[in-house]
Amino acid sequence: MPRMRRKSDLPSKTCAACGLPFTWRKKWERDWDNVRYCSDRCRRAKGGAGAV
Ligand SMILES: [Zn+2]
| Per-residue model confidence as pLDDT tens for the chain (52 residues) | 766 666 668 999 999 999 999 999 999 999 999 999 999 999 998 765 544 4
Find the 2 Cα to ligand 1 centroid distance in Å: 32
Asked if the structure places residue 13 within a domain, the reply is: yes
* Number of domains present in the structure of the chain: 1
3 within domain boundaries: no
Asked whether residue 40 is assigned to any structural domain, the reply reads yes
Q: Could you give the CA distance from residue 17 to residue 5 in angstroms, rounded to a whole number?
A: 29
Residue 52 domain flag = no
Task: Give exposure, 36-49, as e/b (b: 16+ Cβ within 10 Å).
Answer: ebbeeebbeeeeee
From the list 14, 48, 10, the residue with the least C-alpha distance to 27 is: 10
| Model-wide pTM > 0.75 | no
pLDDT score recorded for residue 51: 45
What's the half-sphere exposure (Cβ side, CA atoms, 13 Å) at 43?
Answer: 9
Is 25 inside any structural domain?
A: yes
Q: Is residue 50 part of a domain?
A: no
Give the distance (Å) from ligand 1 centre to CA of residue 31: 17
**Spacing, Cα 1 to ligand 1 middle (Å):** 33
Q: Could you tell me the residue range of the domain that residue 19 belongs to?
A: 9-45
Query: Is 4 inside a domain boundary?
Result: no
Kindly give the distance from the C-alpha atom of residue 46 to the centroid of ligand 1, in angstroms, as a whole number: 10
pLDDT value for 38: 94
